[in-house]
Amino acid sequence: MSTLRLTLRQLQIFAAVAQTGSTSAAADVVSLSQSATSSALNELERLLGLRLFDRAGKRLLLNDNGRALLPRALAQLDGAGAIERLLDEDGPLSLALRLGASTTIGNYVLPRLLPQFLGDHLTRERPSRLAQVRIGNTEAICEAVAAFELDAGLVEGPSRIGELVLTPWLQDEMVLVASPSLLEDATRAFTPKRLEAMVWLLRESGSGTREVTDQLLLPHLRGYRRTLELGSSEAILGAAASGIGVACLSRWVVDDALGSGKVVALTTTLPVMRRQCYLVTQARKQPTRAMARFVEMANTWGSRAGA
């Protein structure tokens, strides 16, 4: 076996510089002095015989060589981290898992899924590190999975980020809802023309939910004549229940409000609207036992739920 010239510490420093843009900022991340960080980076470039950054004043910008190396370096660091996490494992089914979920899944679906994954670890008295969960928008979760910050993600839409494996998971039905007080004749089906005249309660432009809503609705409507943009599905649901307008929301979000009568589902001439949700993993990641178990369980759970 040949002697390795590169070290994990050098790769860690390289990744920190790539992510922060300078050796001084990276030094804080890796707990070294700025001079030691610069020396380690210079030594890595010497060993590789390649420049990894373009210098722009005090900023270090990844060049083509650096961009090619970064995902491989992150994969190696993630593998080393997985070896270290073996020390934390609690038996053959360790739950040391870093999981991400987009907002609707994290708030409404994941609480149903986690108890099955955690199992009897919930009742054990001895200390045990359970899963870590991060909730954010689809783009943020996919970026974290791609950067090896999370082991897996459950998201409500596709991603164009490279290095990811997107496995179709659940399908989420989107429902048009409004306050009963807003509807003079709820029995008459809403045609596209009638829907166009309503006030539409929407997520802000650029959000993943808004993108999906536009894709589902705008092929049938000529546009939104009057809109009110809000920053969360819960805020939109509250506005719909108050009688302000019509909302297109996930069935998971509106189920309780429909059951209590705060809102009603509109009967329309539109086709049934669904969005595809995905299980996201990093193509280069070596799965841990916890990750493999979660992926298998999530896929089984999703198929039973009618994915």
Say whether pLDDT at 306 is over 80: no
Task: For residue 226, report the phi and psi dihedrals to the nearest 5 degrees.
Answer: -135, 130
Q: Collapsing DSSP states into helix, strand and coil, what is residue 222?
A: coil
**Which has the closest alpha carbon to 217: 257, 240, 178, 246?**
246
Mean pLDDT on 222-236? 91
**Predicted confidence band of residue 3 (pLDDT cuts 50, 70, 90):** low
The one-letter code for the residue type at 211 is E
The CA dihedral of 258, 209, 203, 191, to the nearest 10 degrees, is -60
Question: What is the reported pLDDT for 65?
Answer: 86
Mean pLDDT on 7-24? 86
State pLDDT tens for residues 98-129. Answer: 899 998 899 999 988 888 877 655 555 554 55
**Predicted confidence band of residue 228 (pLDDT cuts 50, 70, 90):** very high
Query: CA–CA distance from 101 to each of 87, 111, 116, 155 (Å)?
Result: 26, 11, 16, 6
pTM of the model as a whole = 0.70
Could you give the CA distance from residue 174 to residue 102 in angstroms, rounded to a whole number?
16
For the ranges 7-11, 73-77, 226-230, which has the lowest average pLDDT?
Answer: 73-77
Question: What is the reported pLDDT for 92?
Answer: 43
Question: What is the reported pLDDT for 127?
Answer: 46
Say whether pLDDT at 95 is over 70: no
Using the structure block, give the residue that is written with the tokens 């004549």. Answer: 225
Residue 60 structure tokens = 């270090």
Question: What is the reported pLDDT for 38?
Answer: 87
Residue 77 structure tokens = 């660091």
Residue pair 74/16 in contact (Cβ under 8 Å)? The answer is no
State pLDDT tens for residues 247-293. Answer: 999 999 999 999 999 999 998 889 899 999 999 999 888 887 788 88
